[in-house]
Amino acid sequence: MDIGWVLIAELLALGATVGFLAGLLGIGGGMMMVPVMTLLLSQRGVESGHAVKMAIATSMATILFTSLSSVRAHHRLGAVRWQLAATLSPGIVIGGLAAGAGAFAVLKGQGLALFFAIFIGWSALRMLRDRKPRPGRQLPGRTGQTAVGAAIGFVSGLLGAGGAFLSVPFMTWCNVPVRQAVGTSAALGFPIAAASTLGYAISGWRLPSALPGAVGYFYLPALFVVSLASISLAPLGARTAQRIDVRWLKRLFAVMLLGLAATMLHKAWAG
């Protein structure tokens, strides 16, 4: 399968950046990959609305691999609260399947692009504000955590993101230390990705190939190349997160996310 050296180089750079940011901030995989992948697919002749859906599905599928590499590094550093991850996961699986197998197929690509832009912008503004949680606030009980997990899984399934843009703010809002929130979020990435990817496969298995290397909503060359690069860099990002103050990096990343939100908003408007 000849996909061209230029595209391979672009995908390697994207995967390396995505992997490092996923390990460093517990956020950034899908948020960065979806707009860039949408642009790459559109440049290769894929209809704009369908390119958005392919970018979302392919992005989420890469998280299957990136999350395993990232969570392994965070676990070694003692930053994963496994009991919390286990309580949130059932709701996440339900929400991810409902999004991937149901709502994702029904919504138009332009609608997803608009939804994506709004949530990226919201996440970026939260990063810039960096509000501190109220002292004494605790995590909700098991039922509440299941409901929160379902919401995280559903929204993540629509956006092709690993859920950290919701799970990290939720956990820090409940006074979970930020490094534990990032590590636990990395552990949640796998069930989010597994449920949503299965949903995309169910809803898109009859679709004709949009370009060579595409199967349903998935663009396999991007899946393989980005996954390989991101797996290599995620542990470095996780180790770096434990050693530095990442607040200024989050602000810089937030500004970049606002730019990506504007790009996706333009896509939705143009569509």
- Residue-wise pLDDT for 223-263, tens only, equals 999 888 888 887 787 777 767 766 676 676 677 678 777 77
pLDDT at 86 over 90: yes
CB neighbour class for 138 (10 Å; exposed up to 12, middle 13-18, buried from 19)? exposed
Helices (H), the chain: 5-25, 29-43, 48-76, 82-98, 104-106, 109-129, 142-159, 164-173, 178-204, 220-241, 247-270
Contact 45, 211 (CB under 8 A): yes
Q: Which of 24-33, 118-127, 130-139 has the lowest mean pLDDT?
A: 24-33
Angle at 38 between CA 36 and CA 39, to 5 degrees: 65
pLDDT at 145 over 90: yes
| Mean pLDDT on 115-131 | 76
- In angstroms, the Cα distances linking 48 to 26, 53, 94, 203, 208 are 29, 9, 29, 19, 16
- The residue among 132, 140, 57 whose CA lies nearest residue 101 is 57
Q: In the numeric block, which tokens belong to residue 112?
A: 């997803």
Name the pTM for this structure: 0.80
| Mean pLDDT on 55-70 | 84
- The residue among 270, 271, 260, 268 whose CA lies nearest residue 123 is 260
**Cα dihedral across residues 115, 62, 215, 1: positive or negative:** positive
Report the chain's mean pLDDT, rounded to a whole number: 82
Q: Is 134 helix (H, G, I), strand (E, B) or coil?
A: coil
- Give domain limits for the chain: 5-270
Please, what's the b/e burial string for 38-68 (b: 16 or more CB within 10 A of its CB; e: otherwise)? bbbbbeeebebbbbbbbbbbbbbbbbbbbbb
Strand pairing partners for 218? Answer: 215
CB neighbour class for 220 (10 Å; exposed up to 12, middle 13-18, buried from 19)? middle
| Mean pLDDT on 43-71 | 86
Q: Is 215 helix (H, G, I), strand (E, B) or coil?
A: strand
Residue that wins the pLDDT comparison between 174 and 162: 174
What integer pLDDT is reported at residue 157 of this predicted model? Answer: 87
Percent of the chain whose predicted confidence (pLDDT) is above 70: 88
| pLDDT digit string, tens, across residues 182-233 | 889 888 988 998 999 999 999 888 888 888 889 999 999 889 998 888 888 8
Classify residue 26 by its DSSP letter: S
> How many whole angstroms separate alpha carbon 25 and alpha carbon 65?
17
Strand pairing partners for 215? Answer: 218
| Mean pLDDT on 33-37 | 84
Contact 146, 110 (CB under 8 A): no
Other CB atoms closer than 10 Å to residue 77's CB: what's the count?
A: 14
What integer pLDDT is reported at residue 1 of this predicted model? Answer: 45
What integer pLDDT is reported at residue 252 of this predicted model? Answer: 65
Other CB atoms closer than 10 Å to residue 234's CB: what's the count?
A: 31
> How many whole angstroms separate alpha carbon 69 and alpha carbon 226?
13
